[in-house]
C-alpha cells in the first residue's frame, strides 16, 4: 500500500487599523499670535464637512493657518477653522438683496 502525504498550508494576514487621534494639540499659531488647539487635516475636514484635499487646498491658498510638526505632520489652527465655519453664513448675508435703488 502506497501512502500519500498531503501538505495543507495556511497563510494569514493581519490588518492593523490606525486612526488619527481626535484630541487636539495646543501649539502656537503665528497668525493668531496665541496658543490654540491644532488638529489634523482629516479632523479639520470632518469639522467643515469637506474632504482632506479641500483642506490642503485652503492651506495652500492661505485661507487656513497651520504649523508643521517636527515629523513633518501638518496641523491646522482650530481658530481659523471656526472662522471658516462662520464665513459662509456671512457671505450669504452679504449676497442677500437689500433693495432696489433708482437713480
Domain range list for the chain: 25-77
Task: Report yes or no: 77 and 36 within 8 Å, Cβ to Cβ.
Answer: yes
Task: Report yes or no: 81 and 47 within 8 Å, Cβ to Cβ.
Answer: yes
Question: 9: helix, coil or strand?
Answer: coil
Show pLDDT as tens, one digit a residue, over the chain (103 residues).
677 888 888 777 765 545 545 567 899 999 999 999 999 999 999 888 899 999 999 999 999 999 998 888 899 999 999 988 776 544 444 444 445 445 4
- The DSSP string of 48-102 is TTS-HHHHHHHHHHTSS-EEE-TTS-EEEEHHHHHHHHHHHHHHHHHHS------
Of the candidates 17, 75, 88, the one whose C-alpha atom is nearest the C-alpha of residue 42 is 75
**Phi and psi, residue 26, nearest 5°:** -85, 120
**Phi and psi, residue 47, nearest 5°:** -65, -40
Amino acid at each position: 500500500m502506497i501512502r500519500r502525504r498531503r501538505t495543507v498550508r495556511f497563510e494569514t494576514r493581519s490588518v492593523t487599523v490606525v486612526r488619527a487621534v481626535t484630541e487636539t494639540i495646543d501649539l502656537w499659531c503665528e497668525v493668531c499670535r496665541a496658543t490654540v488647539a491644532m488638529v489634523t487635516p482629516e479632523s479639520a475636514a470632518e469639522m467643515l464637512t469637506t474632504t482632506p484635499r479641500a483642506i490642503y487646498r485652503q492651506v495652500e491658498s492661505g485661507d487656513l493657518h497651520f504649523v508643521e510638526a517636527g515629523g513633518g505632520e501638518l496641523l491646522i489652527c482650530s481658530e481659523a477653522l471656526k472662522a471658516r465655519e462662520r464665513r459662509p453664513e456671512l457671505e450669504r448675508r452679504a449676497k442677500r438683496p437689500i433693495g432696489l435703488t433708482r437713480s
